[in-house]
Amino acid sequence: MAVLLCGGAGYIGSHVNKRLYREGYQTVTFDNLVYGHREAVKWGDFIQGDLKDQNAIEQVFQKYDIEAVIHLAAYAYVGESVAEPEKYYCNNVANTLNLLHVMRKYGCRKIIFSSTCATYGEPERVPIVEDMPQHPVNPYGASKLMIERIFRDYEKAYGMQYVVFRYFNAAGADPEGEIGEDHDPETHLIPLLLDAASGKRKEAKIFGTDYKTKDGSCVRDYIHVYDLGTAHLLGLRYLENGGKSDFFNLGNEKGVSVWEAVNSVKRVTGRDFKVVSAERREGDPAELVAGSEKAKQKLGWKPLYGEIDTIVEHAWKWHERKRG
């Protein structure tokens, strides 16, 4: 039996792949390589394909006995989703329906899905727990919430078993340095700060310094990508043991402001760099911090690398290696 990783050549997917493979799972990565990297798939089998192509998905199910699917394939640029919602609804929602259709056809009923804290929109309070209202403020978050909704209906009608993970801010890199974050374009805070530290960018920008937070900058919950990998492993075992379909936040339950992230990068890298205040970025909630008690209780999840300095240290090691 194999586990199919859709989007397994991406940042989070490649770390999940390594974690599963090391635990003895046979993994098959299916990725269109639009944003993923072939060289990030260092474990298991790889098939290049797109979820818009139902035949391509079927071929994978014909070739392998797929026990479960981990579905991480999506477009994930918030700003782009506002400008081009059709692209997001087609790729993230419609193409997921293709996958679910083929899964049904081949009797595969277990799925782990990458959702996001962006499904909560601007939360009424933090920490955010799973049963709080979900009112996404951009098409990216809305597309993920639609799929969550689809799962509820597919469970009732077709017996689909799911684990939905709502990631907070994925960060860091493989502690062994084999894989890491490699987005193009890069929009995420920590890699951009590392670019400023290494001199690749001339300065770092703080998007908004007048939020009602501890120091005026946005607060986020950064979660190590290795710990996300562990959660997927536990989620898979949970489904294998007949666990009930459920939704889980994955975060460290700790708020880190943009300024604190800047200071952490300066501390860890030992480099100083220019930091400038900039306008708020549209659609950024002031504070997003996870309540992750449910994943701890029900899955036995225990994040290993909760300190922002450790997350930055691993990301920096990868960043330096990538630059050669």
Which residues are part of the catalytic machinery? 140
Closer residue to ligand UDP (CB): 109 or 144? 144
State yes or no: residue 205 binds ligand UDP (CB under 6 A): yes
State yes or no: residue 262 binds ligand UDP (CB under 6 A): no
Closer residue to ligand UDP (CB): 58 or 284? 284
Look at residues 286, 228, 287 and name the one whose alpha carbon lies nearest to residue 252: 228
Closer residue to ligand UDP (CB): 191 or 235? 191
Residue 18 one-letter amino acid: K
State yes or no: residue 81 binds ligand UDP (CB under 6 A): no
Of the candidate residues 87, 188, 201, 298, the single one contacting ligand UDP (CB under 6 A): 188
Of 5-13, 67-75, 136-144, 182-190, the segment contacting ligand UDP by CB under 6 A is 182-190
Measured over the CA atoms of residue 27, residue 31, residue 35 and residue 36, the dihedral's sign is positive
State yes or no: residue 169 binds ligand UDP (CB under 6 A): yes
Of 33-41, 120-128, 145-153, 203-211, the segment contacting ligand UDP by CB under 6 A is 203-211
Binding mask 41-70 for ligand UDP (x = CB under 6 A): ------------------------------
Residue nearest to ligand UDP (CB): 218
Of the candidate residues 23, 153, 156, 187, the single one contacting ligand UDP (CB under 6 A): 187
Binding residues with ligand UDP: total (CB under 6 A): 13
Closer residue to ligand UDP (CB): 79 or 177? 79
Closer residue to ligand UDP (CB): 70 or 206? 206
Instruction: List b or e across 88-106, with b for residues whose CB sees 16 or more CB atoms inside 10 angstroms.
Output: bbebbbebbebbbebbeeb
CA distance 42 to 25: 14
Of the candidate residues 189, 228, 234, 315, the single one contacting ligand UDP (CB under 6 A): 189
Please answer whether residues 261 and 221 qualify as being in contact, where contact means their C-beta atoms are separated by less than 8 angstroms.
Answer: no
Tokens at residue 68, please? 């479960």
Shortest spacing between CB 284 and ligand UDP, in angstroms = 5
CA distance 200 to 35: 21
Shortest spacing between CB 8 and ligand UDP, in angstroms = 21
- Among positions 219-248, residues that touch ligand UDP (CB under 6 A) are 220
Look at residues 157, 182, 161 and name the one whose alpha carbon lies nearest to residue 246: 161
CA distance 247 to 132: 12
State yes or no: residue 207 binds ligand UDP (CB under 6 A): yes
Of the candidate residues 9, 40, 66, 192, the single one contacting ligand UDP (CB under 6 A): 192
Residues lying near ligand UDP in the complex (CB under 6 A) are found at: 169, 187-189, 192, 205-207, 218, 220, 258, 281, 284
